[in-house]
Every structure is written in structure tokens, then in C-alpha cells.
Amino acid sequence: MIKNRRDQFPFQLACATLAGVAFFSGCSSTPMVAPKPTGWIKDEVADSYVFAYPLVLMGAARDAAVGTGPGQAPVNTLRHASALPPVGAHNPPTPGIDTLDSTAWLDVDDEPVIVSLPSSAGRYMDARALDMWTNVLWSTSTRGAARVSGVKAQTVAFAKPGWKGDLPKDVKRIDAPTRNIWLDVRIQSNGGRDLTAVRKVQRGVRVMPLSVYVGEEQAASVAPRSMPADANPGTPAEQVAALDAKGFFDRVAQLLPDNPPSPEDPHALKFLSDLGVKPDEPVELPAKAADAIASGLADGRTRIATPPGNMLTANGWSFFGEGAGNYGPDYALRAYAAYAQPGIGTKDDELRGSVSLDSDGHALNGANRYVMHFAPNQVPPVRGFWSVTAYTKDGALGDSTPSRASVGDKSGVRRNRDGSVDVTVSAAKPRKASNWLPAPRGDFQMVLRLYAPKPEASDGSWQPPAVVRQ
């Protein structure tokens, strides 16, 4: 991890210098040229990949979402989901089925962008805005507002730090460190007929440039941002995974001018510069170091897919704790969060735990029957609500019947007499089970979501129960 190599670089440089002195003093009579070491190239490629992965992923997600094609919308324009994800949906992986999302990509380069939220009239709703490095800039949950009683009407303005001007009264300014911002507004839904009421709340969410908000000009047409000519098909994560080192670092150089890292890290930027990666300049990776570059790229890919040591784990579950959403220099956690749970919020927004093994360490499989027993004092602690959903091993919604089912306190979960909760998980519906969670027929995983969790959910003092095979 980059932050752990700050003291190593001077040491490595000193060792290289001493080695050079020894070489020239001992071999001056032999005309030969020692090969230049490439170990630093491998290390810095790996470190830089971990550092920049969230930025490149967000760039790919923006390019896929912004435009006028199917499923796209211009910048500063909301795109509303009008239905819950269908069976087989996997983009993003493990899609939520508890909320309808309204999303937008904001561009604050010319002027501030206004986001207005209506009162949710007692319905759970939350909103969050992420910069291009996946840090959460603003969230309704950080003020304890996104709870089961809903949120009040509010308006905020996202502006670049150097913007000078006046905002309308009662509009809160949020400085945006990157040109582009990803906005996600989630409204709780029970599906079916309830979708009509959710869509009504969605229509009250507004996004527009400041000049349009104050009525100075009509909404101008926005030129769509199309996919790059060399873009690969697939999800944004698949596109990034398909990039070679040159392609990856080309994207970094293109994105850096409008999206400087936060916090500013001259050490990480120097690593990029050492590799020939500078903002808005052609990338020239070190010559005659193809093997070191390829090895560093492979190492970087492995590291972003490996849970860091500061992940919370309990009873087979893995989940992010208090560091999520505000990463600072913890680049390993930030990269893994972008890889595993793109768009994740802070500890006040949502806690999302995942499990793929039972209490004996065997893979979960729909042919078996499992039980999760929440003791009375172990029921998920939330200010909003909680749910658990089963997905295929690859993160898609399975085809079990009834489809898209989840179990939680919004789906009428039944408690035992002592206040505990038992959730039965299997592909086939059991004869007697008050809280049955349908599972895919093959290997599967489960995701437990806590919306607006209480502090004990993210500080490790609360733990989800083990998944026990019956």
C-alpha cells in the first residue's frame, strides 16, 4: 500500500547508490554494463494501480452512463429507475431490491449544480454524492436524517472550490473537489403497487445548473458524452479489468486534470510521474521493462480484489466499518471498496455485509437449507431498515420463485416469542418457515443491508449471525 512505502523509498535509493559504488570500485578493469534494476517499476506500477483504480472505474462508469442512448442521460440530468431490478440483473453486482434509485452525473465546471430533494412524507429516503475518487462529499444520512420517518425538503449546490458567486437563500453550498460528481437518491419501495407512490416522490427530486434554477436561462441542450472509441464492452468494472497498463495509465492521465486526488498526495503523484504518467500528457511507460510492468499490473489487480486487513469480519460475514466513504490515505480500502461495492456510502449511510460460506466453511448452495438466528439483542441495529437478499455466486439476482425476494423488517419479518428472528434460506420452499429467503439453485452468496445503521453496526460491537446448515 502506498502509504506504507513512504519510508522505504529513501532506503531503496540509498541501497542502489551503495551498490553502484561497490560495483565501480570492484569491477573498474572489466568493461561491462550492469542491467538497470526494474524492481521499483513493478512496485510503483502496483501501488499506482491501487491508488488510481477508483478514479479510472468512476471514469468508465461516467462514460457508460452519460449520453443520449438507451439507459443514458446527459450530465446534470436525473435518470430514474422505474422498476426493481429484473431476475438475472448483475450491473451493478448484487443490485439492491429495496429501493428505487434516481441517479445523475453532475458537471460543476461552468457553474454550480443545484440538487433539490422533496419531503419523503415519512418514507425512507437517502441521498449521497461521491467525487471521482469515491469519497462521499455529502449525504442526508450524515445528519441522521435518512431514517424510517423520512427526510425533510432540502436544497444543496455543488460548486467547484474556486467559484465565487451568490446562491439563493436556504441553499447549502458543497465544494466539489472534482469536476464530476455522482449523485444517487434512493427511495424505499415495496414493489408492486407501491411503485406508483415511489415514482411520485422521484418526480420531486430536481437537478439543474444554477442559472436554470434562478430562472436566468432555459435549460440548454448538453452534448452527450459518448463512450471512448476504444472502449471495451461490458460493465465499467469489466472494462477497467480489460485495460493493459498503457490503457489504464492513459485513462489516469486524461482524468487527473479535472479530478485531482483528495487528499493531495505528492508521494503518489511522484510515483505516477516516475512511470511517465502526468496529467493531460502522453503516457510513456519505462522502456525495456515490459515484464516488470506486466508483473506490477498483475499485482495491482490482485491487491484491489483482496479484502484489506481493516475490513470487519464476523461469523463468516465481511463488511466495511467506519472508514468507508471517507478514506483519506487508505488507498487499499478505497480500491477494494470500489471493486467490491461500487458507490458505497459512509458508516451513516449503509452497512452492507456479504457471506458465501456456511458456519463450517463450506460454500453456500441452494440445494441445502440454512438458518440465520438473530438473537433478541442481535437483530440488525438501524435507524432506517434492514434486509437480506440472496444472489448467485457472480452477484446476479437468481431465478428462484418468488423472484427478487428479500427478508427484512420492511417485508413483514416475524419474530419468535423471545424477540429473536430466524431466517431460513434455501432454493426450495420449506413446509414450515415463517421467514423464508429464496436462494439460487447453485452456489450463492448473501448480502445483508442495514440502511442508516446505528454506530454499533460499524464499530464492530454488533455482529451478524453465522449461516448454519440444517
Span 31-64, pLDDT tens digits: 444 445 678 999 999 999 999 999 999 999 999 9
What per-residue string of b and e applies to 62-77 under the rule 16 or more CB within 10 Å gives b?
bbbbbbeeeebbbbbb
pLDDT in the model for residue 29: 44
Say whether 445 sits in a helix, a strand or coil. strand
From the CB of residue 456, how many other CB atoms can be counted at a distance below 10 Å? Answer: 11
Length of the chain in residues, anyone? 470
Q: What is the pLDDT of residues 279-305, one digit of tens each?
A: 999 999 999 999 999 999 999 999 999
What is 314-469's CATH number? 2.60.120.600
Which of these, 76, 186, 80, 180, lies nearest to 123 by C-alpha position? 186
CATH of 70-213 given 1.10.10.60, 2.60.40.1610, 3.40.50.1980, 3.20.20.140: 2.60.40.1610
Domain ranges of the chain: 2-25+36-62+244-304, 70-213, 314-469
Q: How far apart are CA 169 and CA 413, in angstroms?
A: 44
Q: How far apart are CA 375 and CA 463, in angstroms?
A: 11
CB 429, CB 402: distance < 8 Å: no
Q: What residue type is 34 in one-letter code?
A: A
| Assigned CATH topology for domain 2-25+36-62+244-304 | VPA0735-like fold (1.10.3360)
What the block records as the C-alpha cell of 11 is 532506503
pLDDT-derived band at 217 (thresholds 50, 70, 90) equals low
Q: How far apart are CA 334 and CA 346, in angstroms?
A: 12
Q: What is the pLDDT of residues 74-99, one digit of tens each?
A: 999 999 988 877 665 666 778 888 99
Q: How far apart are CA 139 and CA 130, in angstroms?
A: 9
* Strand 154-159 relative to strand 444-451, pairing: unpaired
* pTM, full prediction: 0.85
**Domains 2-25+36-62+244-304 and 70-213 belong to one CATH topology:** no
Where is pLDDT greater, at 92 or 409? Answer: 409
